[in-house]
Copies of this chain bind each other. A is one copy, B any other.
Amino acid sequence: MPHFADRLEAAIQAKGAPICAGLDPRPDWVPQSFFDAAINAHGRTPQAVRAAVRAFCLEVLEVVAPFVPAVKPQAAFFEALGAGGWDDFFAICARARELGLLVIADVKRGDIGSTAEAYAQALFGRHEIKGIMIESAHVDCATINPYLGSDSVVPFIERARLNGAGLYVLARTSNPGSAEFQQLHLKPEGTLVDEVARRIDAWGSESIGECGYSDIGAVVGATHIDAAHHLRKLMPRTPFLVPGWGAQGGHVAAVRACFDEQGKGAIVNSSRGVMHAYAAGPLKDYGETHWREAVEQAVKTFREEIAQLAAEPEA
């Protein structure tokens, strides 16, 4: 399996823009027609809710696949579907792979030692128990949380690398409260995020792809231009995953600062703005019956905006 950063770069080249479609299926925003069909098949049961959400996600994948190199399913919304939700998450990941999309599992996991290894087993490759193969979600990349330190991150790194996959480690997130701990000032200088960034750079330095980027990325919320510039400098070989486009109010200049001079080194995510385009935002006049057109229009606009932005990183 080629290096994760090279696979990502090839996929970005093939689709024409460094973008990622987030799959955050909020049940209230799944078009009613999916619920009607699912309730018809399964009655008014939790199974029907799961079937509706799964069917919608699968159709969204078909609509966005020609335009995006990667998708980012958000585990929380699948777990919230109840006991079977993890099964739906796996199904979405499998279909995305079939469509040739890179899958970034947004799971933000973090734990220590053999527990971290178990989380990684759930995501990457396959493992054997008593001679029986257990398949993971087979994702290409996952988000993880660094709070517990290097020995919580290394098991993820090892298992990801073994499978040609990558990681995005939370550095500076895009929420309003992100500064509370992440921007605490350290002695003698710098912030917690700086320290996390230095570790991310070090972890990634062990494995640099032909494209010049490593397989250990960073989540960098594009809500602060200075922070983006600063983190780009601290982590010159680290691929960034940039949430916050669209619904979360990312700023164009801050997103641009996440790219290098060649317009490389970052991928920008939009979740609600694409998959729920019909339900909120500038395309909501499409309405539920035209949700497909709304998603297609939203992903095309998103692609154009980010392709242009990446092409003029120093503008």
Contacts and interface: CB of A to CB of B under 8 A. Distances in A.
B109 A147 contact: no
> Chain A: interface residue count, which band?
35 or more
A193 to B, nearest CB: 10
Interface in A119-177: 119, 121-122, 127, 129-137, 145-152, 170, 173-177
Interface string A72-109: 00101101111111110111000000000000000011
Q: What is the oligomeric copy number?
A: 2
Interface stretch (A57-65, A179-187, A297-305): A179-187
Nearest to A36: B130
Contacts of A49: 129-130, 132, 134
Given A44-B132, A82-B90, A108-B111, A175 B149 contact: yes
A236 to B, nearest CB: 22
A131 B44 CA distance: 8
A110 interface: yes
A24 interface: yes
A192 interface: yes
Which of A49, A85, A147, A152 counts the most B-chain CB atoms under 10 A from its CB? A147
